[in-house]
Amino acid sequence: MSITITSAANERMRHFLAATPTAAGVRFGVKRTGCSGFAYVVDLAESMGEGDRVVEVDGLPLIVDDKSLALVDGTVIDFQRQGLNASFVFHNPNATGACGCGESFTVS
């Protein structure tokens, strides 16, 4: 399992963790949605669930569920600001396509 977090994304995630010290870590995975099939989930994890795994990246605990593992393996997570907008950006080698609005992706 390999996930890379850029320094900008790491800093942003640590900011959220510092504001919620009881969180178990940052949840990263996918959910079925959108016109292409999957969308990324990045949120604070209040607790560990059955089937969750902790992947530590540069000392940051990422919690990934078993169903998402194969879909996010190799992903690079970045955080970018463009004007008034700020968001996480994902570079996933498993994604084979995306919807026109960029909110969801497909895999083979």
Mean of the per-residue pLDDT values for the chain?
88
Instruction: Write down the domain spans for the chain.
Output: 4-107
**Residues facing 38 on adjacent strands:** 32, 105
The predicted structure's pLDDT at residue 100: 58
Confidence label for 107 from pLDDT (cuts 50, 70 and 90): confident
Strand order in the sheet with 52-57: 52-57, 60-65, 25-33, 37-45, 105-107, 95-98
- pLDDT digits 0-9 by tens, 48-93: 999 999 999 999 999 999 999 989 999 999 999 999 999 999 998 8
Query: Which of the listed CATH numbers 2.60.300.12, 2.30.42.10, 3.30.1490.100, 3.50.50.60 matches domain 4-107?
Result: 2.60.300.12
The predicted structure's pLDDT at residue 95: 80
